[in-house]
Amino acid sequence: MSNGIPLAEALARYRADADLGPLPELADIDALLNTYHPDHLRDSVIKLTVGANAGDNCQRELAGLLQAEAFIDEADLAGTPVTDVDVLVIGGGGAGCAAALAAAENGARVLLATKLRLGDSNTVMAEGGIQAAIEPDDSVQRHIQDTLRGGHHAANPALVSAMASDGPEVLRWLIDQGMQFEQTPSGDLHTRRAGGMSTARLVHCRDYTGLEMMRVLREAVIQHRSIEVWEQSPAVELLSNETGQKCVGAVLTSLLDGQLRIVRTRSVILATGGLGRLHLNGFPTSNHLGATGDGLVLAYRIGARLCELDSFQYHPTGMLHPSHLAGKLVTEGVRAAGALLVNGLGNRFIDELQPRDVVCAAILRECSEGRGIRIDAQRVGVWLDTPRMERAQPGLLEKQFPNLMARTHVGGIDPRIEPLLIHPTLHYQNGGAVIDVNGATTVPGLYAVGEVAGGIHGRNRITGNALLEIISFGRRAGIAATTNRDRGPKKVTLEHVNRLRRALTLAGLPMTQRAPQILPDYAAGGAWNR
Amino acid sequence: MSLTTHEKGQPVALTINGLAVDASTDMTLVEAAWHGGVPRITNIGCMEGVCGSCRVMLRRGKEVSVGLACQTFVEDGIEVVFMPPASAPQHHYDIGDLKDGWDIHARFHKIFPEASRCRHCHGCNTACPKGIAVEDGVALAAAGRYREAGETFFECIMCELCDAACPELIAPAHVGLFSRRVTAHFHLRPPNLIHRLEELRQAHAIAPQDKKDEEENHADWPAR
């Protein structure tokens, strides 16, 4: 990608008070998406050969992991210590904590196992806010419609309806847990309108909404008497009953001592998050270090049906500069507050509050057609015009976006003076495990909540629905998981792994690659040697 | 590193967990650790300074300090040690057990008895990678001013470096979070949210079956 306007030239041309020209008409959204959205890149999608989704489209790199060899077999389980609990939650982000708290509130003994530290998650980085229809001119119905439209009508309406109806109650529960939100002078919760919303619905805590949520939930989990937390303990495999038809536990390893541990349980709740750290299609990512799609791999291997495996969200405004923040987000809240996107010629090119996939495709179009701003041979982007917003609303950046200001300050950048160079970044997995309104997957005993679950966002998530989803479905699954009062598993096996191995062999697929990935290659340095 | 002064990094040598690492000045300590292949580092999370995982001890000559690896750029000769995860908190409470707002002050001092024993050593302030006036925040909480205390801790990322620095074992990070949580729990009562909750409650009381039907009507999905 060597075309584009050189940085020095674009900087010389840039003025915060320049006339940006008229906003061009957005003629054909489908054509824009089909030509420029990374989901439609040539060769990026293949058909799955084995498993519950055989014959379905799947992103190529993800397909490699879904159809890969497991790490362990029966021999590894002999002599492995066993722990019995009522509910096992895998994942220590917002969804996992909400599920653990709900299960514990319902009287279950809960073990929460997380790959890294409790709270290391994408939740903690969420800035924009959480959607809930609470304004007088808004309604749950409008929230449902916006979510379905934003997802190109591919979402399961029952799930969307469940989530949107939960919105106000979720806010109340979070406030009960001790989460603070931005208020208006009269004490109302402050709302913003952001991309894909027909009215103001985004409730927030400045631009630290996810951090505020995560530190409160983390503390609540740590403090809860019935929840035990195992950190640095990624799951390497689920366990099934004798027939391989029901999930009855998991095998965890430890990044500290390398020891395998078996957990036997009645219900497993997968809350493992997304897969940005797989860097699909070579994109940078906004995700935290642990986002390697482990939950999808484990769920698929035990037979759970997944959906929308060829649909990912590339957030329009990932940072391009400085290099240590490459791929990290500038929250959509900044655009919601009025910041415009400007190309290297100094023109606006898209309505900034279109859904994320549309804005992303428009930015990639500008870059590919030579109107981007070029730092070097690899890096091309467009301006996010923060100085113009600062001129129009002096003091806004410092007051409303302290997180952005703190981060750019470390890199020696002042967004009040310099526009930010941005480029789309791999942000979110739109699909995931097929669930019902209780978060139950198609495999008995296995639940999936948060980013690892699918069907809620269709083929494009609108901002603020992720933080809502994790609490809404996290709590639903946590409660549902405690209703299973049978005596627990008689026998734990790897029958489902044997089943997949047979299928892989029959299909003539190579078994050289192992999954789940646990850590990205560049971070694996000796901690997780396979 | 503003765009106008965009420069390539300069080569530097440092040690991370005792291993010699060659890096470049535009790298953070996290990038340098990966670049140098330093093994057994798994306390890295968000890489943008909000998760508090990548706690490091730093030595520059005779000066020792703490910080976050993802927010610290490499320097020539600096010695870096990634710290082990923080131990479990020693102060326990369940926010659901706090029923009476008038009782909070007494409860706080039962839960955090050390908070009134601050010896003003500034260790917490020095340790905080976010520049929070930790000591002032603790003093505000000890005086029962939870809203102001909580606001002081607004940028807290739960790295718990202040907890590690406190000789009186006050656990300032948890004092801050307690202050923030009780402020929301007892005082955040937004009229717009309360109004909508009441509307939904009344609608649900009239037609509870409609919602259930809608939720159960998903068996045929996905249709495509």
**Res B30: pLDDT:** 95
- Say yes or no: A158 and A269 in one domain: yes
Closest by Cβ to A120, choosing from B45, B177, B185? B45
Predicted confidence band of residue B4 (pLDDT cuts 50, 70, 90) = low
Window 34-63 of B: residues touching A by CB (8 A cutoff) are 34, 37-53
A222: domain CATH number?
A: 3.50.50.60
Question: Rounded mean pLDDT of A510-515?
Answer: 93
Alpha carbon distances (Å) from B88 to A102, A119, A252, B81, B92? 22, 14, 21, 21, 10
Phi, psi of A195, rounded to the nearest 5 degrees: -50, 130
- Say yes or no: A175 and A244 in one domain: yes
The DSSP secondary structure of A99-157, one letter per residue, reads HHHHHHHTT--EEEE-SSSTT-SSGGG--S-EE---STT--HHHHHHHHHHHTTT-S-H
**Contact yes or no for A324 and B27 at CB 8 A:** yes
Is the Cβ of A525 closer than 8 Å to some Cβ of chain B? yes
Q: ipTM of the assembly? A: 0.92
- The answer to whether B191 and B168 have CB atoms below 8 angstroms apart is no
Question: Rounded mean pLDDT of B76-99?
Answer: 90
- The answer to whether B116 and B109 have CB atoms below 8 angstroms apart is yes
- Establish if A520 belongs to a structural domain: no
pTM of the entire predicted model? 0.94
Number of structural domains found in chain A: 2
Closest by Cβ to A421, choosing from B3, B41, B174? B3
Question: Rounded mean pLDDT of A460-480?
Answer: 97
- Establish if A195 belongs to a structural domain: yes
- Say yes or no: A437 and A469 in one domain: yes
- Say yes or no: A219 and A284 in one domain: yes
- The answer to whether B71 and B29 have CB atoms below 8 angstroms apart is no
Where do the structural domains in chain B lie, given as residue ranges? 9-82, 95-187
Catalytic-labelled residue, pool A143, A201, A218, A315 = A315
- Say yes or no: A130 and A263 in one domain: yes
pLDDT in tens, A251-270: 999 998 899 999 999 999 99
| pLDDT of residue B223 exceeding 50 | no
pLDDT in tens, A31-84: 999 999 999 988 899 999 999 999 999 999 999 999 999 999 999 999 999 999
Q: Which residue has the higher pLDDT, A127 or A468?
A: A468
- Test mutation, B6, B19, B42, chain A, max A CBs within 10 A: B42
Closest by Cβ to B200, choosing from A116, A168, A414? A168
| pLDDT of residue A319 exceeding 80 | yes
Is the Cβ of B131 closer than 8 Å to some Cβ of chain A? no
Query: What kind of fold does domain B9-82 have according to CATH?
Result: Ubiquitin-like (UB roll) (3.10.20)
CA A472 to CA A104: how far, in whole Å?
16
- Establish if A506 belongs to a structural domain: no
Predicted confidence band of residue A527 (pLDDT cuts 50, 70, 90) = very low
Residue-range definition of the domain harbouring residue A307: 80-311+430-481
- Establish if A66 belongs to a structural domain: no
3-state secondary structure of A233: coil
Predicted confidence band of residue A283 (pLDDT cuts 50, 70, 90) = very high
Alpha carbon distances (Å) from A307 to A85, A432, B164, B218? 30, 5, 45, 15
Q: Does domain B95-187 have CATH number 1.10.1060.10?
A: yes
Is A279 annotated in the active site?
A: no
A337: domain CATH number?
A: 3.90.700.10
Window 161-190 of B: residues touching A by CB (8 A cutoff) are 174, 177, 180-185, 188-190
**Res B46: pLDDT:** 94
**Res B111: pLDDT:** 97
What residues of A are in contact with residue B96 (Cβ under 8 Å)?
Answer: 176
pLDDT in tens, A476-499: 999 999 997 777 778 999 999 999
Cα nearest neighbour of A330 on chain B: B48
Q: What single-letter amino acid sits at A398?
A: E
| pLDDT of residue A187 exceeding 70 | yes
- Say yes or no: A143 and A259 in one domain: yes
Work out the burial of residue B87: count CB atoms within 10 Å of its CB; fewer than 13 is exposed, 13-18 middle, 19 or more buried: exposed
**Res A523: pLDDT:** 85
- Say yes or no: A267 and A359 in one domain: no
Question: Rounded mean pLDDT of A93-120?
Answer: 97
- Establish if A507 belongs to a structural domain: no
**Res A159: pLDDT:** 98
Alpha carbon distances (Å) from A425 to A37, A59, B95? 12, 16, 38
